[in-house]
Chains A and B, each alone.
Chain A
Amino acid sequence: MKDLNTTGPAPSAEDMKLIKQFLEDTTLFLGPDPEIMQNHDLMERSPDEELAIGQNFDHHMIARIRDRLQSGCDEGYEMVEQMGAAPGAKWGDVITGIYTASGDLALASAGGVLLFSSVVHHPIKFIVKNWINEPTVGVREGDGFIHNDSRYGNVHNTDQSMILPIFHEGRLVCWVASTVHEGENGAIEPGGMPSMAESPSDEGLKMSPFKVVENYQIKRDLLTFLQNSVREPKLQLEDMKVKLFACLRIKQRIEETLNTEGPEALVAMLRLTMEDVRTEVKRRVSEWPDMSVQTYIIQDSTLRENCVVKVNCKLTKKGDRLIFDFRGSSPEFTNRATNTILGGLKGMLSQLFLCYIWPDLPRGQAAMAPIEVITDPHSILNCSYDAPNSQSLMSIFTGFTAGQHAVAKFLYSCPEKYTKVHAPAFNMINTFIWGGVSQHGETLGNLCADLNGMGAGATANRDGEHALAPIFATMADIGEQEVNEEDVPFLQLVSKKMTRDAIAPGKYRGGQGYTMMVATKDSEQWGFMTTAQGAKIPPIQGLFGGYACGTYPLSKVKDVDVYDILLNEPEKFRHSIEEIMNEQPFDGAKYTTHHMGMGFEISKRGELFMISQGAGAGYGDLLERDPVNVVKDIEEGLMSPEVAARLYKVVFDPATLAIDFEATEQARAEERQARIDRSVPYAEFVKDWNQPKPPAHLPYFGCWGDEIDTLYMGSPDVTRRGDEPRPNYMTHPKDVRIAELEARLAAAGVPGDEKQ
């Protein structure tokens, strides 16, 4: 309101009341509410909560109710996972949760994507604020609300939530919700996560929270409208029903508790669980050393073009305060989809703490509640209403990695740890998104579960596990590709085979990722897209002398039908990207490589699209790696003998792989000395290395060095202040290419006499 007072004396308190009333009475559009969207702390205790807590319930009873309802959430989760039609549901990309009457997430299912539910408190608070007393809407027993628009509190619009109020004798006592990564949502590209979106209007369904269920029945008119807005109408119906019935099962469990323990015990349990977690988090943080840790992670593309996009992070701990300062990160892109709303970033940081740092704490909103987050407005981590964000995962995940990298440096010296110190996990969704008309005549749009196969980071005492889990759902599965192939017209000709030499070396190496090769078979109307960064610059950092992963491109082989090859000349087929691309065994085929932001592309029968999942980061000095484990990696096909010998300085017999320990010892001592000889003192190094601005040859976005007030916007000469938003448009990559080709024509002397 202060901004309204641009001239003249400040309005009186009475004037302000009138102005506020006027604005409330004349609101033309209930958009996302900044008061709700910028706040992730717990709501104040309500009078009902005060009353309930005042009854001083026995702590054991509170714990028993919590365990009972935790089981209820887990039961709902299992139902969605077993019955959900979306591929994401089958692999655990779902969650259920119980929220307080004010909207805070108090309990979430033990499996699934905590990130999902930790942003759903926003739409519930929107419903509480706007619909409860709205005569044309209202919130009554038997109602259910649907929501997907990330700007009202969601990761991206491909996730849909069903939200039910729970009443006891006419009084609202809590909410339950179920969220699923549905996939298809009617966006400009199939599958729900369009990287081609240049504005929110390209991103498909934009459901602000609205009532879609009355008397526990889905309203058929609204359902039909939603089905008519997406490519998979049957999926839309089935999963709305699944989520509704999962919520009803949790409701049943809550009602059993209400009947045996009473509403006050339930309300007290929900509130005390959150308050106890919040208090415990502050206690645990206070055990960390007072320190600031800085790091940055680079996104190397917008998914449309390669560029350098900085995610800047300074994590400061002082006393019991923990502050993530992401200022200096890239400005938002006005017409690219890799921006995220702030709530998505905070939800993923919540996932960091509850899955990787303190997995023993009850899963809910409270663990993140006392942790502070600072960002620049209209930045890639806190984007505006008008910026597309359908590929927000790019920024959410690199923000997570910055946090994971920084937190490890606090944890090392802590006497009490709840997990091992952990190098960053791989963080990109290297998978195929697909769509079109299937062999059964169905219109489909979704993705392969391989996004869940991210390699784990190494820890302080062991290697990272291969293809372990996605950072957003540590208990998810990578599914059965063969089951998927019953529904879709393509095969993964190579799947789950580790990509050799795509490594993250260290004393303990990162867990590796596997190769995927797909080819369409039984449809002329089918295509793929890929949406990941990290084909030019690794998207993670190593830890304590360990290295990050390498980079991961998309390879294509066109003008070939590999199904004909497999039928007629099977000896020509190869089972690795390395062999196919280097040997080029298919005559007349065209072999190309690309970054991992492939917009939706129709594929012909038998053309190969090939990618790899990525490796988590390595930990510690690779010269300390046990030579036995180096040879084991060779034997398991993770590394070629040449690369292993050159990097790890292990001496072995190339025929038998027998290790010469004495020679290895000697080679490693020589390498340590060689390091000293080729390196220079820091002060001398930075004299030559440090530059005052980003290099002119890189389209660079974000702050340079510690100067977080100035954000570069693609050139050393174009900047904005961190706190002063400016539009940041990118040129269409095809226009860039046309300009390059026209320049070449001009340089070659072709006359530019075309009429203008």
Chain B
Amino acid sequence: MKIPMTEYLRIDLESEKWECRVCDHVIAPAEGNYKEGLLVHNRNPREIHPPVIDPDKYRYTFSPDPEWVRILEFCCPSCGTQVETEYAIPGHPPVWDMQVDVAALKAQWAARGTAMLPDAGPVVVPGRAHGH
């Protein structure tokens, strides 16, 4: 049984692995930190949140200060889907955000059965996402 844990990640209870829900790539052991199986980019926040007012004239611009905060972008090494972001203080170790008790998860789903798999939002498909 495969349990969708986030928009882009699931845990295969048989293999005990984190997997990408978009391309089925096997990412990391389920007991561990899924981020260890992803790629990371240290993004300047100004590229995502552009200055609304002129940074050459003003100290505060609607854009985060890149000396004070960075965006860590985690993507699947196989399909490039952006799985998670983390707004991080420069040099702060990335957080291990989901530490799963896999044995408990297995027991919980053994009792529930597949019929209870969640309505976890829209189906995720690789490629174009628009509805035309």
State the A residues within 8 Å of B (CB). 289-296, 298, 300, 308, 310, 318, 409, 412-415, 417, 420-421, 460-461, 499-503, 505, 507, 535-538, 541-542, 544-555, 577-578, 581-582, 591-595, 612, 619-628, 643, 647, 661, 664-665, 668-669, 671-676, 678-683, 685-686, 689-691, 694-695, 697-698, 700, 704-706
Q: Is the CB of B82 within 8 A of A690?
A: no
Q: Size range of the interface on B?
A: 35 or more
Q: What are 26 residue pairs bridging A and B, where the CB atoms are less than 8 Å apart in the complex?
A: A289-B104, A291-B101, A310-B89, A413-B4, A413-B118, A415-B117, A501-B50, A502-B49, A537-B65, A537-B69, A538-B64, A544-B83, A545-B83, A550-B49, A551-B61, A553-B61, A555-B60, A594-B60, A621-B83, A627-B130, A628-B132, A647-B48, A674-B80, A675-B39, A675-B82, A679-B73
State the B residues within 8 Å of A (CB). 3-8, 35-42, 45, 48-50, 52-54, 57-65, 67-69, 71, 73-75, 77, 79-87, 89-101, 104-105, 108, 112, 116-122, 124, 127-132
Give the residue name and chain of the B residue nearest to A313 (CB): B95
Q: Is the CB of B91 within 8 A of A545?
A: no
Chain B residues within an 8 Å CB radius of A551 = 49, 60-65
Best-buried of A409, A500, A551, A664 by chain B (most CB within 10 Å): A551
Give the residue name and chain of the A residue nearest to B70 (CB): A689
Q: Is the CB of B89 within 8 A of A409?
A: no
Q: Is the CB of A293 within 8 A of B97?
A: yes
Chain A residues within an 8 Å CB radius of B101 = 289-291, 318
Chain B residues within an 8 Å CB radius of A292 = 98-99
A290 to chain B, nearest CB (A): 4
Q: Is the CB of A578 within 8 A of B73?
A: no
Give the residue name and chain of the B residue nearest to A671 (CB): B80
How many Cβ-Cβ contacts under 8 Å join chain A to chain B? 267
Q: Given A292-B99, A665-B127, A689-B91, verify A680-B112 contact (CB < 8 Å).
A: no
B110 to chain A, nearest CB (A): 13
Chain A residues within an 8 Å CB radius of B108 = 289-290
Q: Is the CB of A672 within 8 A of B79?
A: yes
Chain A residues within an 8 Å CB radius of B68 = 300, 308, 536-537, 698
Q: Is the CB of A685 within 8 A of B69?
A: no
Q: Is the CB of B129 within 8 A of A626?
A: yes
Chain A residues within an 8 Å CB radius of B39 = 675-676, 679-682
Q: Given A578-B53, A706-B93, verify A290-B80 contact (CB < 8 Å).
A: no
Which of A538, A544, A671 touches B69 (beta carbons < 8 Å)? A538
Q: Is the CB of B96 within 8 A of A676?
A: no
B11 to chain A, nearest CB (A): 8
Complex Cα spacing A249 to B104, Å: 50
Complex Cα spacing A641 to B86, Å: 26
Give the residue name and chain of the A residue nearest to B11 (CB): A413
Give the residue name and chain of the A residue nearest to B124 (CB): A624
Q: Is the CB of B58 within 8 A of A593?
A: yes
Which of B35, B40, B60 touches A595 (beta carbons < 8 Å)? B60
Q: Is the CB of B100 within 8 A of A289?
A: yes
A75 to chain B, nearest CB (A): 37
Chain A residues within an 8 Å CB radius of B90 = 691, 695, 698
Q: Is the CB of B96 within 8 A of A294?
A: yes
Q: Is the CB of B87 within 8 A of A695?
A: no
Give the residue name and chain of the A residue nearest to B84 (CB): A545
Chain A residues within an 8 Å CB radius of B77 = 676, 681
A715 to chain B, nearest CB (A): 14
A170 to chain B, nearest CB (A): 52
Q: Given A415-B112, A545-B83, A547-B85, verify A675-B91 contact (CB < 8 Å).
A: no
Complex Cα spacing A294 to B85, Å: 13
A306 to chain B, nearest CB (A): 8
Complex Cα spacing A487 to B115, Å: 60
Give the residue name and chain of the B residue nearest to A537 (CB): B69
Q: Is the CB of B128 within 8 A of A668?
A: yes
Q: Is the CB of B129 within 8 A of A661?
A: no
Chain B residues within an 8 Å CB radius of A460 = 7, 120-122
B78 to chain A, nearest CB (A): 8
Complex Cα spacing A294 to B84, Å: 13
Q: Is the CB of B3 within 8 A of A544?
A: no
A307 to chain B, nearest CB (A): 10
A614 to chain B, nearest CB (A): 10
Complex Cα spacing A573 to B29, Å: 60
Q: Is the CB of A298 within 8 A of B89?
A: yes
Which of B36, B73, B132 touches A675 (beta carbons < 8 Å)? B73
11 further A-B contacts with Cβ under 8 Å, apart from A310-B89, A553-B62, are A291-B99, A412-B7, A415-B116, A535-B60, A538-B87, A544-B7, A545-B85, A577-B53, A664-B128, A672-B80, A689-B93
Q: Is the CB of A624 within 8 A of B104?
A: no
Q: Is the CB of B87 within 8 A of A537?
A: yes
Q: Is the CB of B85 within 8 A of A546?
A: yes
Complex Cα spacing A593 to B57, Å: 9
Complex Cα spacing A278 to B125, Å: 40
Complex Cα spacing A318 to B116, Å: 20
Give the residue name and chain of the A residue nearest to B54 (CB): A582
Complex Cα spacing A84 to B62, Å: 36
Chain A residues within an 8 Å CB radius of B61 = 551, 553, 593
5 interchain residue pairs of minimum CB distance:
A672-B80, A691-B91, A550-B49, A553-B60, A679-B39
